[in-house]
Amino acid sequence: MNLTLRQLRAFAAVAETGSFTAAAQQLHLTQSALSVLVRELEREMGVQLLDRHTRRVLLSEAGREFLPSVHRLLGDLAGAVVGVTELRDKKKGLLRLAAPQLMACTLMPRVIAVYRAQYPDVEVRLADTLPEHLLDGILAGEVELAVGQDLEVDPALIERRTLLRDRHWLICPPGHAFEGRRKVRWAELAPYTFIAPTRDFRQRVLPELASAERAWMQRPGTQEVSYMTTALGMVASGLGLTVCPTYSAPLVQAHGLRMVRLEAPDFHREVCVYGAARRSLSPAAASFVQILERFASERSDA
């Protein structure tokens, strides 16, 4: 059986108006075209749905039985179309995101606020996670997008796009000798205790340092913590110096600390957006990426 929506709509219109002429006007069809659609439907069904009389068209017993189902079907279809249209226009929807703890408390809230101002009817749920578990939600289907540090991915499973290259800055307490400086070289950090802000930081920065700085970075006195917030707390208590990316500035300021440009070498780290490979983004996610990219281009310091 091969029924069409045009046939069902034609039948429903005739049943509601009791007239082929009125139904044809309602559907913007010629009366003959409408009649053909109804006859095709009856032929496919193998039963007469309408009793044609001189002045009025009435439902047959089969037509009366069939009409409620047609109304439900057309109503469900109309509701589905409205639902998809609202998703397309971001008038509703649910967007699930993941980000590591530092980014989840600095960059992401600001981007989400901009997004919600533009699309207030889309619910955004942010999962803060450990950096090493950033992609777990995507692989499990629990989040649609993840935003965080550059990670090696299996391109068959995860799609990665670079959002920005973010500079790392030296963080020192107020009153420190470096506070009033425009810039500081890595070699000048040797007299001070260095607090590596993440477990993988030294591994990432060592290849970019000269031999003397590498030796200093690997000395026993270097502290190593798992979270940037821990490093900032230690700096605030005068226990050493650390570094952090540009987007963490609100957290640095909240601790009352200072950011100084660190160079020779400049140390940058890519921030990326991750999604499931070979899967199109929802309208809500696609528009979030656009806002995120615009936000990053306006605020990044390469």
- Looking at the structure, give the CATH architecture of the domain made up of residues 5-88: Orthogonal Bundle (1.10)
Q: What is the pLDDT along the chain (302 residues), one digit of tens a residue?
A: 788 888 888 888 888 888 888 888 988 889 899 899 999 988 988 889 888 887 788 888 888 888 888 888 877 777 666 666 555 555 557 889 999 988 898 889 999 999 989 888 888 999 998 888 899 999 888 899 999 988 888 999 999 999 888 888 999 999 999 988 999 998 898 889 999 888 778 888 888 888 877 787 778 778 888 888 899 999 999 999 999 998 888 899 999 999 999 988 888 888 899 999 888 888 888 889 988 888 877 765 44
Which residues are bridge partners to 194 per DSSP? 241
For residues 84 and 286, what is the distance between their CA atoms, to the nearest angstrom? 15
What integer pLDDT is reported at residue 86 of this predicted model?
A: 52
What integer pLDDT is reported at residue 82 of this predicted model?
A: 61
What integer pLDDT is reported at residue 91 of this predicted model?
A: 56
The three-state secondary structure class of 237 is coil
User: Which CATH entry fits the domain spanning 97-302: 3.40.190.290, 2.160.10.10, 3.40.50.1980, 3.10.129.10?
Assistant: 3.40.190.290
3-state helix, strand, coil in the chain (%, to 5): 45, 25, 30
Q: What are the extents of the domains in the chain?
A: 5-88, 97-302
Q: Is the pTM of this model over 0.85?
A: no
Q: β-strands 57-59, 183-185: how paired?
A: unpaired
- In this structure, what token pair is assigned to residue 183? 């810039």
